[in-house]
Amino acid sequence: MFNMNHEQELRKRRTFAIISHPDAGKTTITEKMLFFGNAIRASGTIKGRGGGTYAKSDWMNIEKERGISVTTSVMQFTYKNILINLLDTPGHQDFSEDTYRILTAVDCCVVVIDAAKGVEERTKKLIDVTRIHNTPIITFINKLDRDSREPIEILDEIEQKLELSCVPITWPISCGKNFKGVYHIHDKIMYLYKNKDLKKHFFLDLKEFSNSSNAFLNDYIGIDLSKQIYEELELIINIYSKFNNKSFLKRISTPIFFGSALGDLGIDHLLNSLIKWAPSPLHRKSNKRIVEPKEKNFTGFVFKIQANMDLKHRDRIAFMRIVSGQYTKGMKLKHVRTKKNMIVSDAFSFLAGDRLSIKKSYPGDIIGIHNHGTIKIGDTFTQGEDLKFIGIPSFAPEIFRSICLSNPLQQKQLIKGLIQLSEEGAIQVFRPINSNNLILGAIGILQFDVVIERLRIEYGINAVYKKVNIVLARWIRSNNNKSISDFIKKNSAYLGYDASNSLIYLAPNNANLTIVVNKYSDIFFDKMKDQ
């Protein structure tokens, strides 16, 4: 185990992601957090928003504003002496595979809910994914400055749809045009807007909060609203449990915050609790053992590869989450999959728009390293130990295409390009057993657009897609080798291999899949695979 200094470094780190249905306010909240962390000078600095139209992909925004993708992938900043690693997740659902992998690298998630809309479809899906790793969740209910649904109704929905029990930490004082501020139940402080333009607020210490009323409050927000708030708070404090750190860390409950990201209210409450309650860097499971952050030797895993972060250099950056030990500039690391050692002399961290070359990094940190086509998503790096981190998922694709070249002589380049793009997680590539046509698989249709565009720009290949008669894919597994070889013999027309040589069944329709699943009882048909 390691020394005091290392333990201090662990204690002062928090690594989390913000997740939400598009438009709930993730980007605005990220901006405010960066502002509080002095990482940007003014709100409005991050431009990579959907601009109101989500018809365009994040990738297209990225293509237009490449610098911004650097800013929004991983952000490191300090807030009240705590070093925060904030990981951005793509807003568009077509890139959800990327999001799922990013969620393996965090220790906590903030979920943002639009107060007028409640729990939306994508919020539910994302929360389901965070369940795989039992990640603790903090909830921020946003846009209280607009007409909203009843807060209790939203909490009911969170309890039912997200299966988390709610612990309100703050409570809104009305909403929409009448939004006056929030009451911090935990600290017994009321935060009230100074004027109607929702910019400045002040606080009112209500430690004496009781059944009675407060003269200043009666005067400031009106006696009727004040009475209503007192009644509402009494009810809330009685029906909901108090915050309990164990139940939050075990993901039984979620602390709830209300506010308005645009109206500058509530983000500091959220951040203050995050640095107090969210876990410092957690252990990770490997195929051999559990790796603790306190351990002396360096370990880490790659969860994302991003290409073209710097147009001039056409570079690919592998994002690695440090699990244990410490990174020091120039250290030798073992790339476990290839069994090769490499000297890492230029790892960097990210700070609102800039890459900073780093000398030292600790567990919980995300470091970027240059990838010259050798690093794949899911790869583990160690100081010699032969282990592989597990739990970085691949999901069975839902849409399929074959790809045709305008110039058939480019076949070799095409294969090289597709292999690299699949190693970055941009697309999945399958080689059918019975044919030479490569099949591409994706979760969202925009992934196909990105791949065609990148093949053209980065590899000089002009290709087009053709529809294929495949609607479902399942990875094939069995405890019995003979069963597998029999299965391959009888079903080769529907079988292929993925980029890491795992066998996959490519079904032309639901009925076909149901029949084989029923017929072969000792074969597993997996929807998800570890990278």
For residue 90, state whether it binds ligand G4P (rule: CB under 6 A). Answer: no
Residue whose C-alpha is closest to residue 505's, from 480, 529, 531? 529
Pick the binder of ligand G4P from 13, 14, 32, 143 (CB under 6 A): 143
Contacting residue, 17, 25, 104, 401, with ligand G4P by CB under 6 A? 25
Among 56, 124, 146, 149, binds ligand G4P (CB under 6 A): 146
Binding segment (CB under 6 A) for ligand G4P, from list 138-146, 275-283, 327-335, 515-523: 138-146
Q: Could you say which residues in the range 28-67 bind ligand G4P, by CB under 6 A?
A: 28, 49-50, 52
Which residue in the set 145, 379, 424, 498 belongs to the binding site for ligand G4P (CB under 6 A)?
Answer: 145
- What residues from 150 to 179 belong to the interface with ligand G4P (CB under 6 A)? none
Q: Which is nearer to ligand G4P, 27 or 410 (CB)?
A: 27
Based on the shown chain and the rule CB under 6 A, indicate whether residue 20 belongs to the binding site for ligand G4P.
yes
Residue 22, interface with ligand G4P (CB under 6 A)? Answer: yes
Spatial separation of the C-alpha atoms in residues 394 and 98, rounded to whole Å: 10
Alpha carbon 421 to its chain's center: 20
Question: Residue 236 and residue 529: Cα distance in Å, rounded?
Answer: 43
- Please name which of 56, 59, 82, 83 lies closest in space to residue 72, comparing C-alpha atoms: 59
Choose one: 141-149, 208-216, 363-371, 405-413; the region binding ligand G4P (CB under 6 A).
141-149
Min dist. Cβ of residue 324 to ligand G4P (A) = 33
Q: Where are the alpha helices (DSSP H) in 403-444?
A: 411-423
| Token representation of residue 460 | 């000089």
Smallest distance from ligand G4P to CB 147, Å: 10
Hey, which residues between 435 and 474 contact ligand G4P (CB under 6 A)?
none
Q: How far is the CB of 126 from ligand G4P (least distance, A)?
A: 12
Strand extents, DSSP E, 169-298: 170-173, 181-184, 189-193, 201-205, 253-258, 284-285, 290-291
Burial of residue 27, with CB atoms counted within 10 A of its CB: 0-12 exposed, 13-18 middle, 19 or more buried = buried
Tell me the H-state helices in 57-211: 58-64, 66-73, 96-102, 121-132, 151-161
* 142 belongs to the binding site for ligand G4P (CB under 6 A): yes
The answer to whether 73 contacts ligand G4P (rule: CB under 6 A) is no
467 in helix, strand or coil? strand
Q: Under rule CB under 6 A, how many of the chain's residues touch ligand G4P?
A: 20
CB of residue 57 to ligand G4P, shortest distance in Å: 13
Residues 234, 236, 241, 245, CA torsion sign? negative
Read off φ and ψ for residue 429, nearest 5 degrees: -120, 135
Residue at token pair 């399942």: 474
Residue 23 interacting with ligand G4P (CB under 6 A): yes
Minimum distance, C-beta of residue 116 to ligand G4P, in the bound complex (Å): 9
- The distance between the two most distant Cα atoms of the chain, rounded to a whole number of Å, is 83
Comparison of 120 and 292: residue with beta carbon closer to ligand G4P: 120
Contact map string, positions 201 to 240, toward ligand G4P, x by CB under 6 A: ----------------------------------------
| Given 6, 10, 16, 27, the residue binding ligand G4P (CB under 6 A) | 27
Q: Which two tokens stand for residue 410?
A: 């480019």
Of the candidate spans 171-179, 255-263, 354-362, 510-518, the one that interacts with ligand G4P by CB under 6 A turns out to be 255-263
Least spacing, CB of residue 180 vs ligand G4P, in Å: 15
Q: CB 303 → ligand G4P: shortest distance, Å?
A: 21
Q: Is 478 helix (H, G, I), strand (E, B) or coil?
A: coil
> Hey, how many other C-beta atoms are within 10 angstroms of the C-beta on 223?
12
Half-sphere exposure for 230 (CA within 13 Å, toward CB):
18
Does residue 397 bind ligand G4P (CB under 6 A)?
no
Q: Cβ of residue 21: shortest distance to ligand G4P, in angstroms?
A: 7
Q: Kindly state whether residue 353 participates in binding ligand G4P, applying the rule CB under 6 A.
A: no
- Which of 10, 17, 19, 24 binds ligand G4P (CB under 6 A)? It is 24
Is residue 91 part of the contact set for ligand G4P (CB under 6 A)?
Answer: yes
By CB under 6 A, the residues from 257 to 276 that bind ligand G4P are 260-263
Q: Does 125 sit near ligand G4P (CB under 6 A)?
A: no
Question: Phi and psi dihedrals of 353, rounded to 5?
Answer: 100, -20
Cβ closest to ligand G4P, residue 47 vs residue 283:
47
> Strand pairing partners for 256?
139, 168
Tell me the window of 16-24, 57-65, 133-141, 345-353 that interacts with ligand G4P (CB under 6 A).
Answer: 16-24
Q: Which is nearer to ligand G4P, 49 or 269 (CB)?
A: 49
Instruction: With H, G, I as helix, E, B as strand and everything else as coil, classify residue 143.
Output: coil
Whose CA is closest to 27, among 56, 47, 53, 57?
47
Q: CA angle 267-46-350, nearest 5°?
A: 90
- Cβ-Cβ contacts under 8 Å for 315 (sequence gap 6 or more): 307, 308, 309, 370, 371
Q: Which is nearer to ligand G4P, 91 or 397 (CB)?
A: 91
What distance in Å separates the CA atoms of residue 436 and residue 528, rounded to the nearest whole number?
25
For residue 148, which of 44, 53, 24, 51 has the smallest C-alpha distance? 24
For residue 156, give Cα distances in angstroms to 150, 151, 164: 10, 9, 10
As given in the structure block, the two tokens for residue 251 are: 């993901």
Complex with ligand G4P: residue 73 or 394, whichever CB lies closer: 73
Nearer to ligand G4P, 23 or 530 (CB): 23
User: In the complex with ligand G4P, which residue's Cβ is closer, 120 or 187?
Assistant: 120
Rule CB under 6 A: which residues touch ligand G4P?
A: 20, 22-28, 49-50, 52, 91, 142-143, 145-146, 260-263
